[in-house]
Amino acid sequence: MIALLARDLRLAVRAGGGFGLGLAFFLIVTVMVPFGVGPETALLARIAPGVLWIGALLACLLSLDRIFALDREDGSLDLLATAPLPMEGIVTVKALAHWITTGLPLVIAAPLLGVLLSLPAPGYLWLFASLVAGTPALSVIGTFGAALTVGLKRGGLLMSLLVLPLYVPTLIFGAEAARRGAEGLAVQTPLLMLGGISAGALALLPFASAAVLRINLR
């Protein structure tokens, strides 16, 4: 599993769909918002948690179609399906590689980009905590969407349409936790819900993704 993880990390960086693309998109979204809504500090501070969460969510979408597509193109996915490692383990490693190359850089960069949106000082810690708790769910759900569309040519748009509704609960509780933290309110409930979503996704979706991949590889 470690060798597969290292291979996926190298492929993600070499293919141009790694942390650089996601971070660039995240930065563009953050910079463009003040131009669209105006430079009023109070307004930016109020919308900053939601904007940063939406930017992180959309940045995660950019590289989802590469999770299985490269392996499908060169035949590696067929070899992985016959390997001793269970398909559920392969899917989990793929999701972990996506989180390391996309989700983790966004988690680190989000508090820094919060400065551009005048995020209140108490909100930085809770924005970071909400992204740590929620971005694993984005990667696991995205891996499921990638598995559904792995056999389709140019299935990126269809995958986005399938995945975005599944992202809504994570977005709601993640933005709510960051907003409450920025306003000095209690954040335990949204953070617990966010952690529950990530734990549930990690427990269930690798099996669903593996089943879908077996069907697509027949």
pLDDT tens for each residue of 66-97: 788 777 777 778 788 777 888 899 899 999 99
Q: Give the start-to-end residue ranges of the domains of the chain.
A: 2-216
Question: Is the pLDDT score of 19 beyond 70?
Answer: no
Average pLDDT for the chain: 88
- Chain segment 101-150, per-residue pLDDT in tens: 899 999 999 999 999 999 999 999 999 999 999 999 999 999 999 888 88
Lookup result for tokens 């179609």: 65
Q: Count H helices and E strands in the chain, helices first.
A: 10, 0
Confidence (pLDDT) at 174: 96
Distance CA 88, CA 101 (A): 20
pLDDT band at 18 (very low <50, low <70, confident <90, very high): low
Q: What does pTM read for this prediction?
A: 0.91
Confidence (pLDDT) at 17: 53
CA dist 23 to 60, 105, 205, Å?
10, 7, 26
pLDDT band at 155 (very low <50, low <70, confident <90, very high): low
Most confident of 85-94, 147-156, 162-171: 162-171
